[in-house]
């Protein structure tokens, strides 16, 4: 996809389709387009077919005119970034159905921030064009280019940069979606490692990406017995994937992203119910989001250092699988009584968080489809965030708002941490039936005491079920917005 910005004379621009965000009252730009379309827009408003309601889409086919199609997008009632993104997505769905090659977006009528609008448009166009790539041939999209038009000539350069940023974020989301959607017999820990190596082979002008893959023997030497305990029941070898993106000076401390990648989670000996178990291929979406972020970074080459750590394994039951009641020793030396083998994500993350300290990080953020409890608390709208640093939590909340990829904070109070008490080890891997997301966060917090850390529980937001079943690519937009703002502060 090619995205360009333009502030040329509106009457002279040409495209197969034109997307016009508007309410019932037409501004000067909309009036110009209305006149050019022989009053087709004002006519459809007068008829009541288009009411300007937020997210409403009406397609006007005008085969005898220069612009063959106008897509009206209702904007009345817009109040936040989530609504803007929802409206833009609705227009993108309609645009995709037209199977056009070129389109023009009339910018400046959604919200107050032209750059944010351009970014969301490019991101949404790219994600709307995603098709699950089956293991045969891929379907090529007809759509080739989009012109983002606005009256503000002074903002043209900034709009172009925003289009580039949004497109890269969209590509990163699609990377994460594709990995999440692949079946578990294809997307194994070894397959994820191969994808990471491919990223590391990219030749970049302003940055570098290097990849290191640690196998079982390496993890045994590091005494990652907690992580390895999850892999005991699987024939698939576990991998610890480490990607190092360097876009700033080597003395700049990195942001470390740790992504849970259980490529299939049967629950182990604490076996899950059979209904819906196919969706446990999505238990690697945390790791997929890290790879998605790395893909976006490789396109944008932001001036920041980022380390991605992805513990990848299956969680399966066999004769050698870890059993409820077993005690394992983590890389940190802390012992864990495993009361439930289906609480395995924290077991692979805790060793990865200990390992993260070797990079002398500025900040560590882990991303995991960790608990069903977060779905009960927040549904499918917001991801949960828990942190040992309030400023970091506030930054992530703000970045979630800006990127329309929201998070909501839950507490890490000592009363919850006490629920992890064990009579036979330093801690249990579950804290009982209450506050499951919080006690999981408290468990991880014990391994992140030496640096600023936040935990994102994306079990409710990383994929959707039902007729639209599939990975969403979240929280790539949130993470990229955080890294973008971080890179700007580092540059300053």
CATH number at residue 456: 3.40.630.10
pLDDT of residue 79: 83
115 counts as catalytic? no
Please, which residues bridge with residue 107 across strands? none
Question: What is the total count of domains within the chain?
Answer: 2
Q: How far is Cα 90 from Cα 422, in angstroms, rounded to an integer?
A: 51
Residues 198 and 107 in one domain: no
pLDDT more than 90, % of the chain: 84
Instruction: For residues 290-294, give the mean pLDDT.
Output: 98
Residues 145 and 246 in one domain: no
Distance from the Cα of residue 16 to its chain's centroid:
31
69 counts as catalytic? no
Span of 45-59, 120-134, 204-218, 244-258 with lowest mean pLDDT: 120-134
Find out whether 308 and 242 touch, Cβ atoms under 8 Å.
yes
Q: How far is Cα 325 from Cα 342, in angstroms, rounded to an integer?
A: 13
Instruction: For residues 151-171, give the mean pLDDT.
Output: 93
Domain-embedded: residue 128 = yes
202: which 2 tokens? 């990219």
Given the residues 223, 272, 323, 380, the one annotated as active site: 272
Residues 146 and 178 in one domain: no
pLDDT of residue 140: 56
Residues 129 and 209 in one domain: no
Instruction: For residues 371-382, give the mean pLDDT.
Output: 98
Whether the predicted pLDDT of 135 surpasses 60: no
Which pLDDT band holds residue 315 (cuts at 50, 70, 90)? Answer: very high
Identify the three-state secondary structure at position 404.
coil
pLDDT tens per residue, range 412-445? 999 999 999 999 999 999 999 999 999 999 999 9
Instruction: For residues 210-238, give the mean pLDDT.
Output: 98
Residue where a domain terminates, one of 105, 135, 150: 150
Domain-embedded: residue 6 = yes
pLDDT of residue 89: 92
Whether the predicted pLDDT of 192 surpasses 90: yes
Span of 8-12, 146-150, 294-298 with lowest mean pLDDT: 8-12
Q: In terms of pLDDT, which residue wins out, 340 or 140?
A: 340
Domain-embedded: residue 169 = no
Residues 133 and 206 in one domain: no
Burial-class residue 452 by CB neighbours within 10 Å (0-12, 13-18, 19+): middle
Domain-embedded: residue 451 = yes
Residues 144 and 183 in one domain: no
Find out whether 82 and 110 touch, Cβ atoms under 8 Å.
no
pLDDT more than 70, % of the chain: 97
pLDDT of residue 64: 72
Q: How far is Cα 431 from Cα 444, in angstroms, rounded to an integer?
A: 12
Domain-embedded: residue 202 = yes
Burial-class residue 467 by CB neighbours within 10 Å (0-12, 13-18, 19+): exposed
Residues 190 and 112 in one domain: no
pLDDT tens per residue, range 344-354? 999 999 999 99
Residues 61 and 205 in one domain: no
Residues 19 and 68 in one domain: yes
Q: How far is Cα 243 from Cα 278, in angstroms, rounded to an integer?
A: 29
pLDDT of residue 134: 60
Find out whether 477 and 290 touch, Cβ atoms under 8 Å.
no
Whether the predicted pLDDT of 11 surpasses 90: no
Domain-embedded: residue 22 = yes
The residue ranges of DSSP E strands in 108-182, in sequence order, are 145-149
pLDDT of residue 215: 98
pLDDT of residue 136: 41
Residues 137 and 179 in one domain: no
Domain-embedded: residue 212 = yes
Residue where a domain terminates, one of 117, 134, 150: 150
Whether the predicted pLDDT of 214 surpasses 80: yes
- Alpha-carbon distance values, 426 to 231, 312, 336, 337 (Å): 22, 25, 6, 8
Span of 27-36, 228-237, 298-307, 364-373 with lowest mean pLDDT: 27-36
Given the residues 36, 239, 346, 446, the one annotated as active site: 346
**Average pLDDT taken over every residue of the chain:** 94
pLDDT of residue 480: 98
pLDDT of residue 96: 84
Residues 296 and 393 in one domain: yes
Domain-embedded: residue 397 = yes
CATH number at residue 22: 3.40.220.10
Span of 3-17, 41-55, 219-233, 423-437 with lowest mean pLDDT: 3-17
pTM value surpassing 0.85 = yes
Whether the predicted pLDDT of 74 surpasses 50: yes
Domain housing 50? 2-150
Residues 263 and 349 in one domain: yes
The residue ranges of DSSP E strands in 66-120, in sequence order, are 69-74, 102-106
Instruction: For residues 42-57, give the mean pLDDT.
Output: 95
């Amino acid at each position: 996809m090619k995205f360009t910005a333009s502030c040329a004379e509106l009457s002279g621009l040409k495209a197969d389709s034109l997307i016009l965000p508007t309410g019932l009252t037409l501004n000067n730009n909309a009036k110009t387009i209305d006149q050019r379309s022989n009053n087709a827009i004002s006519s459809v408003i007068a008829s009541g077919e288009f009411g300007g309601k937020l997210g409403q889409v009406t397609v006007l086919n005008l085969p005898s005119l220069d612009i063959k199609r106008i897509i009206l997008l209702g904007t009345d009632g817009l109040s936040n970034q989530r609504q803007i993104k929802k409206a833009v997505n609705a227009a993108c769905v309609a645009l995709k159905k037209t199977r056009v090659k070129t389109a023009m977006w009339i910018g400046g009528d959604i919200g107050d921030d032209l750059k944010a609008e351009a970014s969301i448009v490019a991101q949404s166009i790219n994600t709307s064009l995603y098709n699950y790539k089956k293991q045969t041939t891929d379907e090529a999209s007809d759509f080739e280019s989009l012109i983002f038009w606005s009256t503000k000539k002074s903002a043209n350069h900034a709009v172009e940069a925003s289009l580039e940023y949004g497109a890269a974020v969209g590509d990163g989301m699609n990377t994460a979606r594709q990995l999440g959607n692949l079946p578990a017999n294809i997307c194994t820990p070894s397959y994820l490692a191969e994808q990471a190596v491919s990223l590391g082979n990219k030749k970049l002008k302003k940055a570098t990406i290097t990849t290191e893959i640690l196998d079982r023997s390496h993890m045994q030497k590091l005494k990652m017995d907690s992580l390895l305990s999850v892999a005991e029941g699987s024939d698939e070898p576990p991998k610890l994937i480490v990607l190092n993106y360097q876009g700033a000076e080597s003395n700049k401390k990195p942001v470390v992203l740790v992504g849970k990648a259980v490529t299939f989670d049967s629950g182990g000996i604490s076996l899950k119910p059979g209904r819906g178990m196919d969706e446990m291929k999505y238990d690697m979406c945390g790791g997929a989001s890290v790879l998605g972020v790395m893909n976006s970074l490789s396109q944008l080459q932001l001036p920041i250092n980022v380390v991605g750590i992805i513990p990848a394994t299956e969680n399966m039951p066999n004769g050698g699988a870890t059993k409820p009641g077993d005690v394992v020793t983590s890389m940190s030396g802390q012992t864990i009584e495993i009361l439930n083998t289906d609480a395995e994500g924290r077991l692979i993350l805790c060793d990865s968080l200990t390992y993260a300290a070797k990079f002398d990080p500025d900040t560590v953020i882990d991303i995991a489809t960790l608990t069903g409890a977060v779905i009960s608390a927040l549904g499918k709208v917001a991801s949960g965030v828990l942190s040992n640093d309030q400023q970091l939590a506030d930054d992530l909340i703000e970045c979630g708002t800006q990127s329309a990829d929201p998070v909501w904070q839950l507490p890490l109070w000592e009363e919850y941490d006490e629920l992890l008490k064990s009579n036979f080890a330093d801690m249990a891997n579950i804290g009982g039936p209450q506050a499951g997301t919080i006690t999981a966060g408290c468990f991880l917090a014990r391994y992140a005491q030496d640096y600023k850390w936040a935990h994102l529980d994306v079990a409710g937001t990383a994929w959707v079920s039902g007729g639209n079943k599939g990975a969403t690519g979240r929280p790539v937009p949130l993470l990229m917005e955080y890294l973008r703002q971080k890179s700007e502060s580092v540059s300053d």
